[in-house]
Structure 1
């Protein structure tokens, strides 16, 4: 049991500040309860792979603060005088759902206050640029809709817009970029859009084989999965074995395939047992398109995205590794209370 106990403790340590403001901090006991839902033969192999993966895909509050501190002084963006640059920026607080943008802005405001003596709310009286700051981009629909509305209703005739995130997925960025440009053209406005990120994850269909998300190489011998696939309008887009993706998220292709197969099978069981999931909450993660699911493994200290496999976050009666919050108002209040105490 030594290896099992070590893995449980390691995963809990890596994710130790997950939803800390909401009292959802992981423990070895929670990890044990989660992994015990899988077949006994694959429990330790899954723990091994998840221990490796989460060290690459989990963004702690410390890592987020490091990202924001680096962003503050990114010379390619801010030039030689960071305070002057940020003072002239208008931070967009326009997110139509969730609290991630407000919380990222609150964290970055702390950086500005420490470095420059002013907060984000004090910036952009006569903006030379606009900043859309968030933690991650998955399908691209959130940023697309937010900026489409802003362009139609609030944006000036000409604007420089920086979209800044810790992580983005290539397909989502490509999709959103095209739609935002279409919105600008329709509105008769000149919007100069630039994307900034710390990590870019490949998820485009044309690059499935070298992607950084879960894309099975074959459909497993599982009746629930086979029935789901039979009901899809188009055959699933399978990848060719032998690749771990450009970001080295997976320890090996064998480890990657293990997660793809076991999370797909678990996702099917979860869909059958959990009554509150909608049709878009697919086995490997939320996706409007009729697929096996988005398959992202990015998790932040704030929350687990619904674009991750159901096996990671779905609940009642499934026991999730990362319980999601959908009550953004309550979670935001707790987050701001902790921030006010300098806990972050």
Structure 2
């Protein structure tokens, strides 16, 4: 049991600041309750793989702050005078859903205040460029909606827009192209530059080398087989033998374990949780009818519904990462933490 106890402690420690100030800090007992929902024989292997994965996909408060601190002085973006660059840009606060943009702006404002003596609200009186800052892009649907409205209604002609996130999934190219189409339709000249620290491959054409959960086979499980049989089209399966370009998984065997067990759990969760909509697939929210988006990115502020249901779905399932959909509560909690200089 020593290894199991060590893994429970390690996962709790990696995710220690998840929704801090909003939820009790994760404990080994919390992780234990989550893993006990899986078959006994796979519990220890799942813990091993999740301990490895979360060290690469969980963006802590400190990690996010480090990203923003690095962003502040990225010479390719800001040139030789960081304060002058940031003073000249206007930060967009146009997110239609959620609080991630407001929270990222509040955190970056703290960095600007420390480094330059002004915050994000003091910038862009006569903007030389615009900045859309967020934590991650999954399918890109939200950012498409935000930016197409801004382009049509408020964006000036002949400007630059910097879209900056920690992580970006490549399949978002479809919605990024829709942003380009909106610019063309507007008749304006807007140069969009996309910036990210990490890019995760999730396109259908690159399933085998992807960085998300894409099973190699349908498990020999009657409930899963019935779910797949009810799909209009057969799911795209991955060829075995690849852990993806970002090395998120410890091995292909470890990856296949998560793909299989999270798929099985996700199908059962859909049966037991009546409030899930049709797009909340076993491996994560996705408009297209697939087994799910399959992302394993989690930030200290929330878990996206594009992650497998096994990570975030609620009662009667016990989630490893309980999600919040109340952006007002999230923002109040975040600002209270900033006021106490937690960051």
- Shorter-chain TM range is over 0.9
Q: Shift of residue 176 of structure 1? A: 2.1
SS in structure 1 of the partner of residue 320 of structure 2: coil
SS in structure 1 of the partner of residue 271 of structure 2: helix
Q: How many residues of Structure 1 are paired with residues of Structure 2 in the alignment?
A: 343
Q: Shift of residue 233 of structure 1? A: 1.6
SS in structure 1 of the partner of residue 21 of structure 2: helix
Q: Could you say what the CA RMSD is over the residues aligned between the two structures, in angstroms?
A: 0.6
**Which sits farther off after the overlay, 312-321 or 177-186?**
177-186
1:290-333 deviations in Å (ceiling 9; x for gaps): 00000000000000000000000000000000000011101110
1:124 and 2:127 matched: no
TM-score by length of 2: 0.99
1:155-178 deviations in Å (ceiling 9; x for gaps): 112220111000000111x11220
Q: C-alpha distance in 2, partners of 1:135/1:334?
A: 17
SS in structure 2 of the partner of residue 150 of structure 1: helix
Which residue of 2 is the match for residue 273 of structure 1?
272
Q: Shift of residue 264 of structure 1? A: 0.2
Q: C-alpha distance in 2, partners of 1:343/1:129?
A: 31
TM-score by length of 1: 0.99
Q: Which runs of 4+ in 1 moved over 4 A?
A: none
Q: Shift of residue 219 of structure 1? A: 0.5
SS in structure 2 of the partner of residue 165 of structure 1: strand
Which residue of 1 is the match for residue 258 of structure 2?
259
Which residue of 2 is the match for residue 336 of structure 1?
335
SS in structure 1 of the partner of residue 134 of structure 2: strand
Q: C-alpha distance in 2, partners of 1:213/1:96?
A: 26
Q: C-alpha distance in 2, partners of 1:191/1:265?
A: 46
Which residue of 1 is the match for residue 205 of structure 2?
206
1:7-29 deviations in Å (ceiling 9; x for gaps): 00000000000000202421100
Which residue of 2 is the match for residue 70 of structure 1?
70
Which residue of 2 is the match for residue 101 of structure 1?
101
Q: C-alpha distance in 1, partners of 2:24/2:80?
A: 41
1:103-148 deviations in Å (ceiling 9; x for gaps): 0000000000000000000000111110000000000101111000
Superposition pairs of residues 173-192 of structure 1, within 5 angstroms: 174-192=173-191
Q: Give structure 2 stretches of 5+ with no counterpart.
A: none
**Which sits farther off after the overlay, 180-189 or 88-97?**
180-189
**Which sits farther off after the overlay, 21-30 or 146-155?**
21-30
1:241-272 deviations in Å (ceiling 9; x for gaps): 00000000000000000000000000000000
1:145-201 deviations in Å (ceiling 9; x for gaps): 1000100111112220111000000111x1122000111111111111111111100
**Which sits farther off after the overlay, 17-26 or 36-45?**
17-26
Q: C-alpha distance in 1, partners of 2:301/2:149?
A: 26
Q: C-alpha distance in 2, partners of 1:158/1:102?
A: 26
Q: C-alpha distance in 2, partners of 1:269/1:148?
A: 38
Q: C-alpha distance in 2, partners of 1:149/1:245?
A: 35
1:230 and 2:229 matched: yes
1:164 and 2:164 matched: yes
**Which sits farther off after the overlay, 329-338 or 18-27?**
18-27
Which residue of 2 is the match for residue 148 of structure 1?
148
Q: C-alpha distance in 1, partners of 2:162/2:146?
A: 14
Q: C-alpha distance in 1, partners of 2:5/2:259?
A: 24
Q: C-alpha distance in 1, partners of 2:113/2:82?
A: 13
Q: C-alpha distance in 2, partners of 1:19/1:94?
A: 23
SS in structure 2 of the partner of residue 290 of structure 1: coil
Q: C-alpha distance in 2, partners of 1:319/1:115?
A: 42
Q: C-alpha distance in 2, partners of 1:14/1:168?
A: 22
1:219 and 2:218 matched: yes
SS in structure 1 of the partner of residue 250 of structure 2: coil
